[in-house]
Amino acid sequence: MHTRTLGRDLRVSAIGLGAMGMSQSYGPNPGDRTDMIAVLRGAVDRGVTFFDTAEVYGPYVNEELVGEALAPVREQVVIATKFGFRIENGASVGLNSRPEQIRAVATASLERLGVETIDLFYQHRVDPQVPIEEVAGAVGDLVQEGKVRCFGLSEAGAETIRRAHSVHPVAAVQSEYSLWTRDPEPEVLPTCAALGIGFVPFSPLGKGFLTGAVDASTSFAADDVRTTIPRFTEGNRAANQVLIEHIATLAQAKDATPGQVALAWLLAQHPSIVPIPGTRRITRIEENIGAAQLPLSADDLADLNELAGRVGVEGDRYNEYHMSLVDK
């Protein structure tokens, strides 16, 4: 697979793998841990070198899963994890990015991952109670000590990115970005490009919607996160079907899948964009990495760029609580 660079020198596969769904959020969790280990190792066999996890996924068990799976190939991969949530009794109960908490999380994550250095350490959400300069300084101290290689931010606004970067270089910013979530385009993407910061889209396939596998008739399990997202109400899924039908038409003309078109569009937006689609299946990994070889013409890109504005997207991407955690 082609590679791309995040920040100054963090070289990763052009398409990574988000591991969150292997431990939470998308219905019943896989019953066999060994199956998920096989998927993670199978991704490496197919050229994926960039893996995303977080202490809050599970909590904790996702880091342990990723660490165990990638231990035999540690020198071949880049592992990103995150700090920033306050976790009590097995659940996140708010934010905490105080410097002493960042250090404690780093120590625990290093142990769970079984590594000597965290390749990319993101602040998971911006904590309004802690100046971002203090956060950047705390991660910078960990970099100096060799416990962290690179600093990242998640769902951060442009001004926060600039302030953090002035204290310690930000290698990557992670936010939701896809053909139906264009929020980073006005300010965040230009800021990252100007500062030499990589951009990592999560949910690049719209939590499954942009693959064509979800429609108005889809039933979600009670513990599926999509039951809490306004964009995934039955009515909004029906309204948004026009979007996926258009993508599917282009995909068919190119002998590709809708998901591959959605990922190829992201890759074409900037050479330092590295999407991290999540999956529990090797077949989906093979499909996703095929997007790196899918050519889109200037006309294709122009058409897709205008698509969401032309047909509209119904429903917010988060519920009210989670929208409150997004830095503006």
Count: domains in the chain: 1
In this structure, is residue 248 part of a structural domain? no
Render pLDDT for 33-52 as a digit per residue (tens, 0 to 9). Answer: 999 999 999 999 999 999 99
| pLDDT on residue 32 | 83
Q: Give the pair of three-digit tokens for residue 105.
A: 């999380």
| pLDDT on residue 28 | 81
CB 116 within 8 A of CB 146: yes
d(CA 171, CA 255): 35
Handedness of CA 41, 43, 44, 46 (dihedral sign): positive
Render pLDDT for 60-102 as a digit per residue (tens, 0 to 9). Answer: 999 999 999 999 999 999 999 999 999 999 999 999 999 999 9
Q: Which residues are catalytic?
A: 57
**What secondary structure, in 3-state letters, does 185-217 show?**
CCCHHHHHHHHCCEEEEECCCHHHHHHCCCCCC
- Report long-range pairs for 27-32 (Cβ below 8 Å, ≥24 apart): 27/220, 27/221, 27/223, 27/224, 28/221, 28/223, 30/280
Render pLDDT for 171-226 as a digit per residue (tens, 0 to 9). Answer: 999 999 999 999 999 999 999 999 999 999 999 999 999 999 999 999 999 999 99
In this structure, is residue 284 part of a structural domain? yes
| pLDDT on residue 27 | 81
Average pLDDT over the chain reads 97
In this structure, is residue 227 part of a structural domain? no
In this structure, is residue 263 part of a structural domain? no
CATH of the domain at 62: 3.20.20.100
CB 192 within 8 A of CB 272: yes
Using 50, 70 and 90 to split pLDDT, how confident is the model at 15?
Answer: very high
Question: Worst-scoring range by mean pLDDT, 5-9, 12-16, 275-279, 309-313?
Answer: 309-313
Backbone angles phi, psi at 230, to 5 degrees: -55, -35
CB 113 within 8 A of CB 81: yes
| pLDDT on residue 179 | 97
Render pLDDT for 244-296 as a digit per residue (tens, 0 to 9). Answer: 999 999 999 999 999 999 999 999 999 999 999 999 999 999 999 999 999 99
Strands (E), the chain: 3-6, 10-13, 17-18, 50-52, 78-83, 85-88, 91-95, 118-123, 148-154, 170-176, 198-202
| pLDDT on residue 218 | 96
User: Residue 29 above 80 pLDDT?
Assistant: no
Neighbours of 129 (CB within 10 A): 9
| pLDDT on residue 317 | 97
Q: What is residue 114's three-state secondary structure?
A: coil
| Radius of gyration in angstroms for the set of CA atoms belonging to the chain, rounded to a whole number | 19
In this structure, is residue 244 part of a structural domain? no
In this structure, is residue 175 part of a structural domain? yes
In this structure, is residue 328 part of a structural domain? no
What residues make up the domain containing 104?
A: 3-207+269-292
Q: Give the pair of three-digit tokens for residue 93.
A: 């109960």
- CA 250 to mean position of chain CA atoms: 25
In this structure, is residue 298 part of a structural domain? no
Q: Give the pair of three-digit tokens for residue 40.
A: 């993670």
d(CA 312, CA 314): 7
Neighbours of 115 (CB within 10 A): 19
d(CA 295, CA 276): 19
Sorted by sequence, the CB contacts under 8 Å of residue 19 that are 6+ apart come out as 40, 51, 52, 53, 57, 62, 65, 66, 278
Burial class from Cβ neighbours inside 10 Å (0-12, 13-18, 19+) for residue 72 reads exposed
| pLDDT on residue 30 | 75
User: Residue 31 above 80 pLDDT?
Assistant: no
